[in-house]
Structure 1
Amino acid sequence: MDQHILYDPNGLLEQALPLDREPYLSLVKAVLAWSGPEPVLQPRDYEQIALQLTGHARAVAGDVRRRCATLPRDSEMRALTEVVLGEAERRLSARPQATVVCVQHLARLVRALYERLDRLDSAAPVSS
């Protein structure tokens, strides 16, 4: 699987693009609904799904990381968020495989990152 790296040392692209959550959550839901014998997809289909989920997980992790950085160092929320980010970094450092198992792991990661992002958003102080 070829990987291309976008050169964006300042993370400007991540900050400028709002995440379009719904299509990815629909994909996550569909992938996690697979059960029993492996769905009949071609390896290239799994590869494309893995690439989509990997890219989106990185974008969501970037949002989570930016929000985490604003939390106090001794915050329990920050500690939990750093655990989620550490796990995301570990999983995203591995080369995605064109398999059902890999795609489902990536789908669970995207779901976990959105859950953490939502918790951060709900815990954020409301500005007047």
Structure 2
Amino acid sequence: MAALSPTVPDKAAILPVVEATLQWDLNSTDLPPVDVALDMAEQFTRYGRMVADELRTRCLSIPADSDAGLAAQATLGEAARRLNLKPLARSAAPRSAAHRAQNLARLVQALNRAMDQVSEEEAVSAPHGSCCGDDPELGSPPGRADHRARAREVPRARLRCRRWRRDPAPRPRSVGEQRLTEARWMTTMAELGMVTIAAGDTNSYPRRSEPIALPIWEKVTDRAHMVQRTYLDADGTRRSDTRPDGVLIDAGYVDLARHAADHLDGVGKEALAATAGFNKPH
């Protein structure tokens, strides 16, 4: 008789387990038993594979170059690696087991978030008619596909093959939220025992204060720049966006410039000098 496949938990059952797992303090001595942590990691792996399979299929129904499509592909790429890691032995250290479970819990969150975004994109991209190019009666539709085709100089023949709707355009992507999402993706590469070196320009600010003061946004005349480098707090105040840095630091990443300034002889605060573009006209 063939062995029964392990039961895959549903979303309602897995989310409370994810939240409980992420509450563990890895620096505490009061960690869950190794068997408990590894059992959770196994649940997250089974659930993650199920969601990843569905997400991969659902991505076929939305434009590949949409925000949701690009975000989903990045999440699926990380899922392909993390969901196929060799399971830890039952003799593993409690902290290693708990760390593995937490990283898989974060991946589950990322997959569910990507699924929600794809669902929203499906609603926006749902076909409500056919794009008919230069039809003299209907004309060229003022929808998203038409805009993208013009912007990227896509041949008109391809434009005719796209589907369109006359509903209002989807809400624009928030630059700040995109930065925060990408920082969260990076936390899945901070697993215990991994070495990750990342370089990039987050177009945001360090959470810990540095010698160069942050802009006083009320005095910045370039309002587009102000919006791109800030986020709207719950009280309606524009604040310098330090959230991506906070996410990376909390996940265990080390800012090499800060490390050099704090710990390397002969370097000092020069390591924290402003990067290109800091003094752009405001």
TM-score range, shorter chain: 0.7 to 0.9
- Change in Cα spacing, 1:39 to 1:61, as seen in structure 2 (3 Å) is farther
Query: Alpha carbon RMSD of aligned pairs, Å?
Result: 2.5
The corresponding residue for 2:10 is 20
Q: Deviations over 1:44-83 (max 9, x none)?
A: 2122111111000111111111111222334343222111
Which residue of the other structure, out of 49, 52, 76, is the alignment partner of 1:85? Answer: 76
**Max radius of gyration: which structure?**
2
Count of aligned residue pairs for this structure pair: 113
1:110-125 → structure 2 map (5 Å cutoff): 110-125=108-123
Q: Aligned with 2:87: secondary structure?
A: coil
TM-score (norm. length: structure 1): 0.76
Identity, in percent, stands at 32
Q: Distance in 2 between matches of 1:119 and 1:74?
A: 13
- Change in Cα spacing, 1:79 to 1:48, as seen in structure 2 (3 Å) is same
Greater share of helix: 1
Q: Provide structure 2 residue ranges, at least 5 long, that are not aligned to the other structure.
A: 129-282
Q: Distance in 1 between matches of 2:51 and 2:29?
A: 28
Q: Distance in 1 between matches of 2:119 and 2:42?
A: 27
Q: Deviations over 1:80-108 (max 9, x none)?
A: 21111001111112123360100000000
Q: Aligned with 1:95: secondary structure?
A: coil
Which residue of the other structure, out of 47, 67, 75, is the alignment partner of 2:66? Answer: 75
TM-score (norm. length: structure 2): 0.37
Runs of 4+ off more than 6 Å: none
Retained in 2: the 8 A contact 1:38–1:100? no
Higher relative contact order (CA 8 A, sep 6+): 1
Q: Distance in 2 between matches of 1:93 and 1:116?
A: 19
What's the offset of the Cα at 1:28? 0.3
The corresponding residue for 2:99 is 101
Q: Provide structure 1 residue ranges, at least 5 long, that are not aligned to the other structure.
A: 7-16
Q: Distance in 2 between matches of 1:38 and 1:57?
A: 29
Retained in 1: the 8 A contact 2:79–2:107? yes
- Change in Cα spacing, 1:73 to 1:122, as seen in structure 2 (3 Å) is closer
